[in-house]
Amino acid sequence: MSIFKPIKNKRIYQQIIEQVRELIADGTLEPGDKLMSERAMAEKLDVSRASIREAFSVLEMLGLIESRPGEGTFITDADSNALIEPLALVLMIDQDNVFELLEIRKIIEVGNAGLAAERATDEKLKEMKEALSLMRKQRSTGEMASDADFKFHFAVAKGTGNKILVKIMHVIADLLYNSIGMNLQQMYKVEGNSEMIIQQHKNIYKNIMEKNVRGAKQAMYHHLEAAREEILWIIKESNRLKDET
């Protein structure tokens, strides 16, 4: 017998979210429990996989679940979720304010870089290096995109050893992608940008590897400030073109 109930009313993804939250609250689902696949859950609830994906996306932003590549989707630690969930909800409400979102990102990630440098280990550096390699590979095929970029920033967040910071990064990354995803993709297509972005990430990695806390923070600050200026320019240009049509 399935622990989930069939979905029949409107706003399907919200009902899925409510069910998962109720199951966590009553202890049916506990930290570390693996959820069934999107396909299996869609069949059990008699809904589309798109609804499941939308629900999972919000649940991950709220810090209630986490997706592990090659393993599946798992319930996270409820203690840290108590802090992340209100933050995620506030950011979801104000996600159209790109300026403030980019500002929040800069404040958090500069600190992440410094802490990652202070706590650098070979294992943590390996994940950052793998993300850099993916960025180079994508650039060589002309397919450089935000997924490789964000993967590097997640690796830096993980390098802090602070699980709450990693969850905050997931919230910010998801909201940035949802609000300005197309503009982010456009940024990589501007001539010379992809090489510049890779170089900036290499500089961040170099300082973290050398345990240069100040250098890592400065490198992250300069990278995010450059990215912020580029994104805002693209948004303004996009709005200008819309006004002209």
The enclosing domain of 194 has a CATH number of: 1.20.120.530
Q: What is the pLDDT of residue 185?
A: 66
Beta strands in the chain (DSSP E): 65-68, 72-75
Q: Is 240 inside any structural domain? A: yes
Q: Is 89 inside any structural domain? A: no
Domain span at residue 114? 94-244
Tell me which H or E stretch contains 100.
Answer: helix 98-118
Q: Is 3 inside any structural domain? A: no
Going by C-beta distance under 8 Å and a sequence separation of 6 or more, which residues neighbour residue 168? 84, 87, 108, 157
In angstroms, the CA 51 to CA 74 distance is 18
Q: Is 145 inside any structural domain? A: yes
User: In this predicted model, what pLDDT tens digit does every residue of 170-207 receive, in sequence order?
Assistant: 777 777 766 555 566 677 777 778 889 899 999 999 99
Query: Quick one: 204 and 114 in the same domain?
Result: yes
Q: Is 160 inside any structural domain? A: yes
Q: Is 239 inside any structural domain? A: yes
Query: Quick one: 108 and 216 in the same domain?
Result: yes
Tell me which H or E stretch contains 144.
Answer: none
Query: Quick one: 126 and 192 in the same domain?
Result: yes
- Cα–Cα distances in Å, from 37 out to 34, 71, 179? 9, 10, 27
Q: Which of 67, 53, 65 is nearest to 20 (CA)?
A: 65
Query: Quick one: 213 and 143 in the same domain?
Result: yes
Going by C-beta distance under 8 Å and a sequence separation of 6 or more, which residues neighbour residue 78? 24, 31
Full-prediction pTM beyond 0.85? no
Query: Quick one: 61 and 156 in the same domain?
Result: no
Regions of the chain with pLDDT less than 50: 93-95
Query: Quick one: 103 and 34 in the same domain?
Result: no
Query: Quick one: 144 and 212 in the same domain?
Result: yes
Q: What is the pLDDT of residue 142?
A: 63
* CATH for 62: 1.10.10.10
Query: Quick one: 217 and 131 in the same domain?
Result: yes
Q: What is the pLDDT of residue 83?
A: 52
Query: Quick one: 142 and 74 in the same domain?
Result: no
Q: What is the number of domains present in the chain?
A: 2
Q: Is 148 inside any structural domain? A: yes
Q: Is 2 inside any structural domain? A: no
Q: What is the pLDDT of residue 95?
A: 46
**Cβ pair 65, 41 in contact under 8 A:** no
Query: Quick one: 100 and 216 in the same domain?
Result: yes
